[in-house]
Amino acid sequence: MRWIVRLVFALTALLLGAFAWLGIPATAAGLVAKNVCSGVFIARRAQADVLAADVLPASPLLRLVHVSVDEGRQLVRGRMLWSAERTAMRLPGLGCVLDPTPALLNDTADDPAARQAGAASNDGPPQDDGLPATDWQGIDRAAIAAAIDEAFRDGRRAAGRNTRAVVILHRGRLVAERYAAGFDAGTPQLSWSMSKTVLGLLVYMKLQAQQQDASLRAVDWVTPQRRPPWLRDWERDQRSSIRLADLLFMRDGLDHQESYEPWGTVPRMLWGVDDVPAFAGSAPADAPAGQRFRYLSATTNILSRLLRAQFDSDAAYWRYPSQALFEPIGVRSAVLESDASGTFVASSYLWATPRDWARIGQVLLEDGLAGGRRVFAQGWQRFAGTPPTTDDPAAMGYGAHVWLPGAAGGSSCAPEHRLPADTFLSTGHWGQLAAVIPSRNAVVVRLGMTLDHDAFDRCEFLRAVIETLPVAGTALSGK
């Protein structure tokens, strides 16, 4: 009997040791602290609801994390077993930041122009309170309602679809909108990987303003004064050939994997390190740039750091998304969160209300126009929707940080979904989507928390919605 007890203790010690060696306790504590902070102080939801609906269902291990919330200082602390305490704090203009460095705390405190992000606006596209009948011409209202009913069919059940919002625009008008209990038009929701498309657009806008193009090498886009140490390492090996286009179209050749296990690349990057782009950019190359398609969150965060280097000050970088994009199109709720060093974690952490996600989709639909005003140079649709030539067939389904599910060889949706060839699709890890369909003059947004990927088929939902809409009479002029 005694040997059994010893064996159990030995196995337990071995398991705990493996956990510690893999950094799982610290990463888990960071995950909980960061997501509770954002849910409470950006989305303004109750702590208990954020834990029960967003955090704990992701893994039973997270129940071992002790959480404390300081409402007055707007910070959340998390600790798992013997791990060091992790602290997520809401900072002006940067959302909830995990373990912010003293330098970042000083910089944000000293920047009087940093806006307190996350003050969601309740205004949005016009409500359906008397739209002219012509706005509904050709739309199958019963079918669109049925598609939305199906998306919400199991309510907020954590193991089910767990749809929280659907917003659909047609010809710039709101034709459908629904929210789950506990959410409304003023509740910011998390994008996860939908934020990649926004980062890709911001890079496109910056290149256009500089009269540069994406054929530029990454090492040549950054001045020596603003160059991070890991990018200097690129100059000395084959990574020096990586172009901005290789990063935008996910063909950089870096030796990363998009793995989500507790010890995987993505959790370690998001909740295990202070400098996210340094972690991402330290990977060696294991394939020539421009040849192999591999979808990587690390690649987006590398681009985010390169974009930061385009500004003379970090304060200008932090204000850039709002000044260049969000404010001109009427987006007031957007919060793009940073890592501890001040670089936007653009792979995953953009919060906005569903209506504001629809606004972002609408400016993409109109190829840079918002209310008749040009926000960015015409040509994003052509650029983002035309993958460079490669021998990798999977690459044809991915544009410049956006999926092309209707393209030949597209991998994000199956051919039987019959999505229009001009569809642009941004997706998030747990079933989020924002689709832009120029040939239907439509924007479709669905936000939720579908932990079981088999519970909700976003491609089928998108197909069902698109089939209710008429084909646009004329192509976009892009004026």
Domain range for 14 is 2-91
User: End of a domain among 68, 91, 114?
Assistant: 91
Strand pairing report for 163-170 and 350-352:
unpaired
With beta carbons less than 8 A apart as the criterion, state whether 27 and 272 touch.
Answer: yes
Domain count, the chain: 2
Task: Specify the length of the chain in residues.
Answer: 479
Q: Would you say residue 362 has pLDDT above 60?
A: yes
467 CB-near residues (< 8 Å, 6+ apart): 140, 143
Angle at 180 between CA 177 and CA 186, to 5 degrees: 65
3-class SS at 134?
helix
Mean pLDDT of the chain: 87
Burial tier of 329 (Cβ tally within 10 Å: 0-12, 13-18, 19+): buried
- Which residues are paired to 296 by β-bridges? none
Query: What is the pLDDT confidence band of residue 399, given thresholds at 50, 70 and 90?
Result: very high
CA 335 – CA 44 distance, rounded (Å): 13
With beta carbons less than 8 A apart as the criterion, state whether 365 and 444 touch.
Answer: no
Residue type present at position 379? G
CA end-to-end span of the chain: 82
| Nearest CA among 35, 25, 27 for reference residue 269 | 27
Which residue shows structure tokens 């084909």?
A: 471
Query: What is the pLDDT confidence band of residue 7, given thresholds at 50, 70 and 90?
Result: very low
Shared domain for 297 and 430, answered yes or no, is: yes
Shared domain for 79 and 196, answered yes or no, is: no
With beta carbons less than 8 A apart as the criterion, state whether 403 and 384 touch.
Answer: no
The number of beta carbons lying within 10 Å of the beta carbon of residue 208 is: 17
Shared domain for 195 and 302, answered yes or no, is: yes
Shared domain for 197 and 71, answered yes or no, is: no
CA 92 – CA 97 distance, rounded (Å): 10
Per-residue pLDDT tens over the stretch 438-470: 999 999 999 999 988 888 999 999 999 999 999
Per-residue pLDDT tens over the stretch 193-214: 999 999 999 999 999 999 999 9
Least confident range from 19-28, 58-67, 136-145: namely 19-28
Percent of the chain with pLDDT over 70: 86
User: End of a domain among 33, 68, 91?
Assistant: 91
pLDDT score recorded for residue 129? 38
Q: Would you say residue 113 has pLDDT above 50?
A: no
